[in-house]
Amino acid sequence: MNIFEIEPGVVTEFAANWADRARHMQRSAGFRNVRLHRSLTSDARFRLVNIAHWDSVQVWRKAAQSSPMTAATEAARAQATPNTAIYEVVTGFGAMPR
């Protein structure tokens, strides 16, 4: 999960660039899905939240360390401050995304 601190005027451009990065992720072994969520309130500290699902932490790390992803990550840091962490589900309700 990445939560991004980003200026309001950059959100649209960042989201377009994020879609390019997501296409790189899709080609990686072990990738399941990814979604970028935008805050609906103007005062949110974190305007964008990226939630990705991978088969394992190991395949995510391998993909994240690949040349295309490291270059894309550095470019993203020019527009936003990412706060990245690995999470596990501790409880849930309803249908899970595929």
User: CATH number of the domain at 2-84, please?
Assistant: 3.30.70.100
pTM: 0.84
65 close to 30: Cβ distance less than 8 angstroms: no
Q: Where are the domains of the chain?
A: 2-84
Choose between 89 and 5: higher pLDDT: 5
**Residues ≥6 apart with Cβ < 8 Å to 22:** 34, 36
pLDDT tens-digit map of 17-51: 999 889 888 999 999 999 999 999 989 999 999 99
Beta strands in the chain, from DSSP E residues, in sequence order? 2-6, 31-38, 48-54, 80-84
pLDDT tens-digit map of 45-89: 999 999 999 999 999 999 888 877 888 888 888 999 999 899 998
